[in-house]
Amino acid sequence: MRQTLLLLLAASALAACSGKSTVAKPEPLRQIADPQVRGESRWATKTADSQGLSGLRPLLAAGRVFVGDSKGHIQALDAQGETLWSQKTDFRLSAGPALADGALIFGTLSGQAVAVEASDGSVRWSTELSSEVIAPPVGDRDLVVMRSGDGRIYGLNPADGERRWTLNRSVPALILRGAGNTLLDSNAAYVGMDNGRVIALDRTTGEPLWEEAVSLPTGRSEIERIVDVDADLLLVNDVLFAASYGGDLVALATTNGRTLWRRSLASYTGMDFDGRCLYVTDAEAVLWCLDPSNGAAIWEQNQLKHRGLSAPLAFKGNVLVSDFEGYMHAVSSADGAIIGRRKVVDDAVNRPMQAADGVVYVLGRGGRLRALDWVPVNSAG
């Protein structure tokens, strides 16, 4: 039977396999000698507990923030944090939402795809899938793509949830309990899989266009052979960036899957890009700025090592990361120096942060949602 591991348990076991008796101790926070920016809170609100499910993420669309939780609550908030509508459903939500054809798309722990109207939260449709959905769905006006925990990938009609196609891929015996995003462009759906590979699927038929290995399983134990592509994929023009927990980061050509470059770097969070740097947080919580053309390191920031960093977010010329204690750190994009810090939530940030209209949105593991801005320290306010 397939088994899953929480990231913390996996990290502990891997440390033991390496001859270490305990999980590595997080770096203590150092005082910032010359803070250059400060976090200004716009608002904060408590959504219901989502059991730490990383696939449940805030969605920013049309000036609104949409959130769902594992108890079936769905909310729409305006830019000031005021509730526009709130609905209680009977579904145990576990992933989403995505926006497709005016509907919010969720996955559930019971193995369903669910669509609710973005205007008021009323249920449009639900479709039975084969197992729980942990990976965030993706959609547009013409297609919804869902991944279930047993390795199946579904293409659904956003209007009524009808299955258009299904692809089945095997799942390793032991995987991390998490899953990265799926990406859509005009030609294909790009999916990172638990077997360490990335696959591009034809939008219309679901047929594979190409499939490429990010990492190959190595080692004697099942734990050592974990190669999940759980880090969120990143698409920049015609280049797809993918990272594996197995220890590789690759740049792939979207046209044919050809590997443009590869470097040794394990990650399970995600990446961002600001036109100069490809930002990546690795499995040891080191933040990297890499040259997107060849993967060479421009700088690395290791003062937050083992602090369970979130995926990075490029913001206002710098880069933000949040940690397992709910601190958000502002890092200079020029040299990787930490230039600001603020406590934003009370617990770990295990979902990607998002930004729109000069505001950063961060959701804590326990359901605390905060909107904030980062401004120069000498600014008024």
Please give, one letter per residue, the 3-state secondary structure of the chain: CCEEECHHHHHHHHHHHCCCCCCCCCCCCCCCCCCCEEEEEEEEEECCCCCCCCCECCEEECCEEEEECCCCEEEEECCCCCEEEEEECCCCEEEEEEEECCEEEEEECCCEEEEEECCCCCEEEEEECCCCCCCCCEECCCCEEEECCCCEEEEECCCCCCEEEEEECCCCCEEECCCCCEEECCCEEEEECCCCEEEEEECCCCCEEEEEECCCCCCCCCCCCCCCCCCCCEEECCEEEEECCCCEEEEEECCCCCEEEEEECCCCCCEEECCCCEEEECCCCCEEEECCCCCCEEEEECCCCCCCCCCCEEECCEEEEECCCCEEEEEECCCCCEEEEEECCCCCCCCCCEEECCEEEEECCCCEEEEEEEEECCCCC
Q: Pick the most confident of 12-16, 153-157, 175-179.
A: 153-157
Q: How confident is the model at residue 17 (pLDDT cuts 50, 70, 90)?
A: very low
Higher-confidence residue: 28 or 177? 28
Q: Kindly tell me if the per-residue pLDDT of 283 is higher than 70.
A: yes
pLDDT bucket at 47, cuts 50 / 70 / 90 = confident
pLDDT of residue 229: 87
Q: Residue 381 falls within a domain, yes or no? A: no
pLDDT digits over 342-356, tens only? Answer: 999 999 998 899 999
5, part of any domain: no
Number of domains in the chain: 1
Question: Where in the sequence is the domain holding 359, given as residue range(s)?
Answer: 28-376
Mean pLDDT over all residues of the chain?
Answer: 90
Residue 165 lies in a domain: yes
The whole-number average pLDDT for the span 140-148 is 96
Residue 171 pLDDT: 66
**pLDDT of the residue at 50:** 65
CATH assignment at residue 93? 2.130.10.10
**Per-residue model confidence (pLDDT) at position 178:** 60
Q: What integer pLDDT is reported at residue 12 of this predicted model?
A: 39
- pLDDT at residue number 381: 57
Residue 1 lies in a domain: no
Weakest mean pLDDT among 152-161, 179-188, 256-265, 332-341 = 179-188
